[in-house]
């Protein structure tokens, strides 16, 4: 579950890396993204520590370290304005995040849990919001306990 959910954070990281987000802001995005994944995971019966381990944080560290994750390339391609199909072709992979974002957002809405990253990515995938607007929405959220 953790590995599946962090795909959403990796796609968002690709978006933000393409737009030139610096390391500090990217770390904030990842921290908030992992907290969101943990909230959703716990609702589905997952253990919080899993999200701090290899399947969660470890997976994202590997992605940032440059192990060629297709989710990062997919996010970068979306930030360049490519369509979902074009971005998936560029990433040379089927990206679960393209469908998962909407599913997570819908599940969280029913459970009354905030998932701004998943909701924003779902809107991006549906063409309702630009990467710039998504970045602004995510980075201007009030500070909370993450």
Give per-residue pLDDT as tens, 97-131: 778 999 999 999 999 999 999 999 999 999 999 99
**Neighbour tally for 53: CB within 10 Å:** 12
pTM of the model: 0.91
Burial class of residue 128, CB neighbours in 10 A (0-12, 13-18, 19+): exposed
Is 13 in a helix, a strand, or coil?
A: helix
Question: Of 138, 17, 139, whose CA–CA distance to 76 is shortest?
Answer: 17
* Third-level CATH fold of 2-139: 1.10.1040
Convert 111-124 into a string of H (helix), E (strand) and C (coil).
HCCCCHHHHHHHHH
Structure confidence by residue, pLDDT tens digits, 17-37: 999 999 999 999 999 999 999
Supply 144's token pair. 């909370």
């Amino acid at each position: 579950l953790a590995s599946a959910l962090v795909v959403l954070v990796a796609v968002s990281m690709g978006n933000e890396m393409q737009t030139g987000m610096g390391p500090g802001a990217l770390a904030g995005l990842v921290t908030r993204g992992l907290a969101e994944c943990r909230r959703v995971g716990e609702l589905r019966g997952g253990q919080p520590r899993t999200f701090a381990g290899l399947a969660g944080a470890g997976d994202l560290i590997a992605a940032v370290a440059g192990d060629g994750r297709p989710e990062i390339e997919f996010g970068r391609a979306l930030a360049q304005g490519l369509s979902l199909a074009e971005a998936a072709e560029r990433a040379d992979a089927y990206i679960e995040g393209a469908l998962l974002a909407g599913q997570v957002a819908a599940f969280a809405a029913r459970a009354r849990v905030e998932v701004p990253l998943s909701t924003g990515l779902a809107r991006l995938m549906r063409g309702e919001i630009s990467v710039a607007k998504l970045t602004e929405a995510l980075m201007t959220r009030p500070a909370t306990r993450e």
